[in-house]
Amino acid sequence: MSLFSHGRDEPKYETLEEAHLMDDIAGSEADLGVSRRKSRVARLAIVVPWTISAVLLVLLGASWAFKWSDECGSSSFERGFSTELVPAKTQIEMHKVRYRGTPIFGDDGEEYVKYQPGETRYVGEPSDEIDEAWNELTTRRFFLLSEAEAKTQFGHGYKRYWNEGWGGYAASLDMFHTLHCLDHVRKSLYPEYYHQTSLHGQIHNDHIRQQIMCQSDLTPLPSQYFESVKENYLDSDREHTCRDFSRIRQWTHMRYNESLTGDEVWTGHYKPGHEGTSSFGPV
């Protein structure tokens, strides 16, 4: 034995098969790591878009629900609706009103209506008294809107509603126009007295139809049997929940009077002599 060989470790050698096996193991581990990374990326590619979509859907739904809740909570018969004139809604007050006018049949079968002493008459044979009562309902119903009000109510095309005769944006609340239509229907019952045109009357009739269908009053009306005529007739003298008409009419008259002042807030100046006509035709 050589003196220099004492204490040395014997060199280690790997067989060719062992070397290949180690390379295969290392390669497999590397491939497994890449595969796992690819799998995570693939899962993220699927999960992330769906997560974002779900979050956006929840936010959109919450926003829509909040808007719907806000609109429903702020719009009602008592508070007014988004389609109604904003400043006029401040005048809404509710009260109960018992209707009048249900026909009664006497023992002889004659039909008549009971009126209270001093009660205003709106129906009957033509007379100055009845004409004046209807005129009082609808007079001074037009007034000027400020430009801001016109834009809010009618949108970006509001300028086409400029009324040259009034020198501004003239408007009327729908209920007064409906009363005006009903007055024309009343007059059409006496053509020899009022000389109403049939076409104009038909237009008014259709507006009244739409207004009634829109309001859809749900107050139930019972029918009462009258022995003298052997028939049932509806009793329409029932209590109804109503907006205070007088209060809204007073506000409308106030706006009408303000429109006459020529104040620049109404974007124009009223021209005397145009009370009876406008660019909309007869008013």
DSSP letter string, 112-152: E----TTPPP-SSS--HHHHHHHHHHHTT-EEEEPHHHHHH
- Could you report the average pLDDT of every consecutive run of 10 residues in the chain (283 residues)? 47 52 53 54 56 59 52 78 95 96 89 87 94 96 95 95 94 97 92 78 88 96 93 94 97 92 52 42 44
Among residues 95, 137, 84, which one has the least CA distance to residue 242?
95
Q: Which amino acid is at 145?
A: L
> Which positions ≥6 away from 99 have C-beta within 8 Å?
236, 237, 238, 239, 240
Among residues 33, 15, 76, 275, which one has the least CA distance to residue 170?
275
At 5 the pLDDT is 46
For the stretch 60-87, what's the b/e string if a residue is b when 16 or more beta carbons lie within 10 angstroms of its beta carbon? eeeeeeeeeeeeeeeeeeeebeeeebee
Centroid of chain to Cα 154 = 13
At 35 the pLDDT is 56
At 259 the pLDDT is 86
Residue 242 parent element (H or E) = strand 239-243
